[in-house]
Chain A
C-alpha cells in the first residue's frame, strides 16, 4: 500500500508540472502582453523595453518559466485587475463557500443516487427503474443555471420556503473557524447558525447536484446490474446469507469500484457548475468570483482559479486512486 501511495504521489507531481507548463504557455500566448495593458497607448519603444526588463520579460523563456513556477509555488498569482487585492487572498476568502456547496451537492448526489441506482437495478423494468433512468436523463439535460433559477423562483420566491440568496440570513452573527458555515456552527455550538446555513444551502446544493446525481444513478444501476449477475453473488446466495449481507458485502463492495472513480471526477467538475449556481444564488463563493473575472478579463484571477481547480482535481483523483487501493485488493498487490 505504501509503494502504491508513493507511486501515485510521484505521478501527481508530474501531472502538476505538466499543468504549470500548459498554463505558462497559455499565459504567453495571450494576445497583447502585459505591457500593453499597463502602459498608455502612446508609450515609446524605450518605455516598453524598460517595462519588459522590469517584469523580467526580456529574460530567456526558461528563466521566465522558472520565475513563474517559483511564484506559483509561493501562491503568488499577482493581484486581481478588478479589485487590486492579491488573487490568492481573494480565492482563500471564497474557497470555503464553494467547498461547502460542492460537498453538500455531492452529499445529495451520493446519498440519493446510490440507493436509487441500486433500487433501479434490483427492480429492473419496473416503474421505479423507468422513473430513475428517465429522471437522470432529464437531470443531465437541464442546464444548471435554468434549474437553479427555477428552484429559486418556485421554492424561494413563490412558496417562500427557503431563502433566495447568500449563505446566511442578513445580520446573523457567526464565528469563523473553517469557513464552512454549517461545520463552524456545529463546532462552536451555534446550532441556530448551522441550521440557517443549511437552509441557505438547500436550493443551490440541489441545483448543483442535478448532474452528479444523474450520473451516479446511472453508473450505480449499471454497476449493480453487472455485479448481481456475477458468480460470487450466487455463491453468497448459496451460503444462505441474509439479503442485507449479500447486498452490502458482496454486491455493493464490488459495485462501488466504478462508482468511486466517477464520484472523484464529478467532485472536480462540481466547481465548474458552481460558477453558474453561485451566480444565481449570490452565494459568494469562488464561482461568482470567476464569473466576474471572466466578464472583466481579469487574467491573474483566472489563472489563479485554474491553478486551484487543477490542484483540486489532481488531489481528488489521488484520493480516489488511494480509496481504490483500499476497495480493491487486486490494485494493491499488482506491480
Chain B
C-alpha cells in the first residue's frame, strides 16, 4: 500500500471541472512528479489533497451533468442548445456558499485514512504535521507583518507542543538545516528583509518543521532565479532523502522532473494521460501530449534561430473527456477512434491514455 493513494479525484468549481478523475500514488520515500501546463489541474490536485480548497455547497460528491449531456446526442440544433444551457442552471441554485467553493469527490488515502473524508478539525491536526506543503511564490506565501521566527514556531507550537525558548531554539536549528546562515538573528527578521531564495528556504523549514511523511512542493522554484532554483531543488532532495520523506513535486518544468523525480504523472485537462518511471518516460514517451511536451523543450545543440516546436492550440476551458480524448483538437495524429468515447488508461507500470499509441509507435 502506497503512502498516498489518490483515486478518481474530481474537483469542480461550480460548473467548471478542474480535475476530472485523477489517480496516482506516492510510495514512502519516493519523489513523484505531477507535470503539465498551466490549467491542467496539478495545483488544484495538490490543494485538494491538502484540504485547502474552499468548500463547495455540493459537499464531497460533485454532481456531473451527465444525464443532460446524454440528451445532446440528438442532432437537432435546438436540443443541443438546450443541453448546453441546462448545466449552468444546475449549480446556480446551489445556494449561498457555492460562490468560489470547490466540489471535491474521490479518495485520497494517506496511510490508510481517506483525507477527503476527514472533518475539517481532524484535517487541521494532520496538516503541517503528517503532510506539509511548499508553495510557489515565497514572498506572498509568508506573512509580511510577522517575524519569520514566529512563523516557524507557531507550527512547532501547534503540532509538537514546543513553546518559548525551546521553540526558538528548534526554529533556529531548522533555519540552519535549510542553509540559512546566522539563524538566531534571522528569526527576528521579516520576510521583506530576506532574499527570494532565503524566503523559499524559510517556507521549506516551515514545511519540514514537524518531519512530515509527505511533502508537497507546488512549483517551488518558479519564482526564483535559475541559480537559486538549483540550490533549492538540491536542498529539497537532500531533506527528503535524509528523512525518508515522500515528495510530490508539482511542476511544468521537465528539467526539474528529470533531475529530481523517480516517477512521473503527466496531467492534461484534469486527467493523468501518462504515468511512468522517469527514465522510461523520457526514453519512450507514449502519449502524443508527452511527446509534444518533450519536443517543445529548447535544445542547446540546435542551430540558433531554429524555431521551437510548440504544441499547437491551447488547453480548452471546458473539459470533455466523455466525448473522446481531450487532447484530440491539438493532436497531430488524431483519428476517428480518438473522439469515439472516453479513452481508457492502458498499461500499469507505464500507463497512458492514448487509443492509438500502438499504431503510431
Of A234, A241, A257, A329, which contacts B52 at CB under 8 A? Answer: A234
Chain A residues with CB under 8 Å of B135's CB are 231, 234-235, 238
B203 within 8 A of A: yes
Chain B residues with CB under 8 Å of A241's CB are 124, 128, 154-155, 158
Chain B residues with CB under 8 Å of A28's CB are none
A232 within 8 A of B: yes
Most buried by A among B129, B132, B143, B159: B143
Chain B residues with CB under 8 Å of A250's CB are 143, 146
Asked if B143 and A329 make an inter-chain contact with CB atoms under 8 angstroms apart, the answer reads no
Asked if A240 and B144 make an inter-chain contact with CB atoms under 8 angstroms apart, the answer reads no
Asked if A333 and B193 make an inter-chain contact with CB atoms under 8 angstroms apart, the answer reads yes
Asked if B143 and A254 make an inter-chain contact with CB atoms under 8 angstroms apart, the answer reads yes
Of A125, A238, A327, A333, which contacts B50 at CB under 8 A? Answer: A238
B141 within 8 A of A: yes
- Chain B: residues with Cβ within 8 Å of the partner, total of 34
Asked if B142 and A232 make an inter-chain contact with CB atoms under 8 angstroms apart, the answer reads yes
Instruction: Give the A-B pair count, Cβ closer than 8 A.
Output: 88
Asked if A239 and B145 make an inter-chain contact with CB atoms under 8 angstroms apart, the answer reads no
Of A125, A242, A330, which contacts B158 at CB under 8 A? Answer: A242
A58 within 8 A of B: no
B188 to chain A, nearest CB (A): 10
Chain B residues with CB under 8 Å of A235's CB are 135, 141-143, 203, 206
Asked if A231 and B141 make an inter-chain contact with CB atoms under 8 angstroms apart, the answer reads yes
Chain A residues with CB under 8 Å of B282's CB are none
B186 within 8 A of A: no
A102 to chain B, nearest CB (A): 28
Per-residue CB proximity of A121-142 to B under 8 Å, as 1/0?
A: 0001110000000000000000
Chain A residues with CB under 8 Å of B96's CB are 125-126
A253 within 8 A of B: yes
Asked if A239 and B144 make an inter-chain contact with CB atoms under 8 angstroms apart, the answer reads no
Of A124, A238, A249, A254, which contacts B144 at CB under 8 A? Answer: A254
Q: What CA separation (Å) do A314 and B215 show in the bound complex?
A: 52
Given contacts A238-B50, A239-B155, A330-B190, contact A232 B124 (CB under 8 A): no
Chain A residues with CB under 8 Å of B154's CB are 239, 241, 245, 249
B140 within 8 A of A: yes
Asked if A249 and B99 make an inter-chain contact with CB atoms under 8 angstroms apart, the answer reads no
Chain A residues with CB under 8 Å of B52's CB are 234, 237-238
A220 to chain B, nearest CB (A): 17
B61 within 8 A of A: no
Q: What CA separation (Å) do A53 and B125 show in the bound complex?
A: 83
Asked if A330 and B144 make an inter-chain contact with CB atoms under 8 angstroms apart, the answer reads yes
Asked if A239 and B127 make an inter-chain contact with CB atoms under 8 angstroms apart, the answer reads yes
Residue of A whose beta carbon sits closest to that of B152: A239
B140 to chain A, nearest CB (A): 4
Of B99, B146, B159, B190, which contacts A240 at CB under 8 A? Answer: B159
Q: What CA separation (Å) do A253 and B52 show in the bound complex?
A: 21
Q: What CA separation (Å) do A237 and B147 show in the bound complex?
A: 17
Asked if A239 and B206 make an inter-chain contact with CB atoms under 8 angstroms apart, the answer reads yes
B137 within 8 A of A: yes
9 contacting pairs across A/B (C-beta < 8 A):
A126-B96, A230-B140, A237-B127, A238-B132, A240-B124, A242-B124, A249-B150, A329-B145, A333-B190
Binding site for B on A (CB under 8 A): 124-126, 230-232, 234-242, 245, 249-250, 253-254, 257, 327-330, 333
For the complex with contacts A232-B140, A237-B52, 5 further pairs of A-B residues with Cβ separation under 8 Å are A238-B128, A239-B155, A239-B158, A253-B146, A330-B145
